[in-house]
Amino acid sequence: MKFKVLNQLNVRDKRVFLRTDFNVPISNRRILDDSKIMAHCATINYLMDKGARIVLGTHIGRPKLNEVGFRKDTDYKSLNTNAQIIFKSLKKIYGDKISFINSCIGEDVKTCIGNLREGHILLLQNLRYERGERINNESEKLEFARVLSSYFDIYANDALSVCQNKDASVFYLPQFVKKAAIGFLLKKEKNLMEKLIRPILPAAAFLGGFKVQDKIGALQKLLRKGFEIFLGGAMRNPFLRGC
């Protein structure tokens, strides 16, 4: 598939929503590894240099929703899924150029985005605090995406990890905008993925992570393509138990 990349669009003075993956490991509200945050800096810096008005949206963890909505009745300020933790990290990089708002939609968000200056950034609260982001109800997802899309001019996805999901900010949001593109990180990862699809053998793949069930399909496909597989992290445990 062919995608437009951000540098193919005129972003100057445009409100650009950048879907990021700041889903970093956090313990006691402290980031243990910020490499995923730093990986997005090339795209963010480009948008700043070009005079865009940047809105960052991300997920962090899998906060549980209930019938009335997670954000309305839970003291999430103490949780490791609060995007304000990410903001503190980004603040060290971008200083006064970045601000944070404790929501994703609403009049306050609309006003903040409208007041953004060229080259400045607004980080939204964890998208998964909103029912419409992941709930198994298409009408709610569409409504959340429709409202959020009204705040910006250009949609950009820079988060490979969620591209397969039907989260509103990934699957539905681009349907409401006229201009969409991928960021530089996603372009880089897409190029790497193409090497997995058409490998030059002999080739090896190193797989790790916690969610083993999510990677079994990829493991089987890599084996069929002739890869040697090396397992690490929690993914190796089911295989060790079977030995």
Per-position pLDDT tens, the chain of length 243: 578 999 999 999 999 999 999 999 999 999 999 999 999 999 999 999 999 999 999 999 988 765 445 555 455 555 899 999 999 999 999 999 999 999 999 999 999 999 999 999 999 999 999 999 998 899 999 999 999 999 999 999 999 988 888 999 999 999 999 999 999 999 998 888 777 778 888 888 887 776 667 677 778 888 888 888 888 877 777 777 765
The pTM of this model reads 0.83
Phi, psi dihedrals of residue 42, rounded to the nearest 5°: -60, -45
Tell me the CA distances in angstroms from 160 to 40, 191, 207, one per residue in order.
11, 11, 16
Q: Give every CB contact of residue 136 below 8 A, 6+ residues apart in sequence.
A: none
Domain residue ranges in the chain: 6-188, 199-241
Q: Phi first, then psi: what are they for 115, rounded to 5°? A: -90, 0
CATH of 6-188, one of 3.30.1330.20, 3.20.170.30, 3.40.50.1260, 3.30.1490.190: 3.40.50.1260
End-to-end Cα separation, the chain, in angstroms: 41
